[in-house]
Amino acid sequence: MAKNQDKSMEADEVEDMGADARVYELGFHLDPDLPVEEMKKQYQAIHAAIASKGTVVAEVEPVKIQLAYTISRQEVSGRRDFSSAYFAWIVYETLATDHAEVLAAMNANKFVVRFIDLITTKDAARHALEVHEMLAKMPEQEEPTDEVVSTELDTALESVAA
């Protein structure tokens, strides 16, 4: 489940960060071959590392997705291709020095297939979370079959020709 806010630091500690603190969005893919329990442990470890360095503003827990393209990675045993992954994101506020430590931890985590870390705002993060929650509540729409698309196309062409 998504969480709107995590009180990882006391309010006075966040205020002490002052103008030097920035808000970052960390999006990452975890190894799709991990058993669900191990994936959850890895996610919690990443979350805990971030929470120890700042304040979690918003997050979406991992969901297994098909990737738009194959990601290849060289490992000790050879090249490994990923066509799916567990995707999650965490938005957090922290100081630049602590941010560098979060990035170093992500680089060192062998279960992270790929990640991206961007500067954002709390408002943008909260909006993204609202959109995610709204989309999660919508019923899935089925993709039209080729037969349905073909029939609709034929009908449209006939009406234009008439």
DSSP 159: H
* 9 pLDDT higher than 50: no
Give this prediction's pTM: 0.71
Mean pLDDT over 101-112 rounds to: 95
Helix (H, G, I), strand (E, B) or coil at 113: strand
Mean pLDDT of the chain: 84
pLDDT of residue 64: 95
Helix (H, G, I), strand (E, B) or coil at 46: helix
pLDDT of residue 129: 83
The answer to whether the CB of 90 falls within 8 A of the CB of 99 is no
**At 5, is the pLDDT very low, low, confident or very high (cuts 50, 70, 90)?**
very low
Domain boundaries, the chain: 11-161
Homologous superfamily of the 11-161 domain (CATH) = Ribosomal protein S6/Translation elongation factor EF1B (3.30.70.60)
Q: Which residue has the higher pLDDT, 12 or 32?
A: 32
Query: Which string of b and e fits 82-111 if b means at least 16 CB within 10 Å?
Result: bebbbbbbbbbbbbeebbeebeebbeebeb
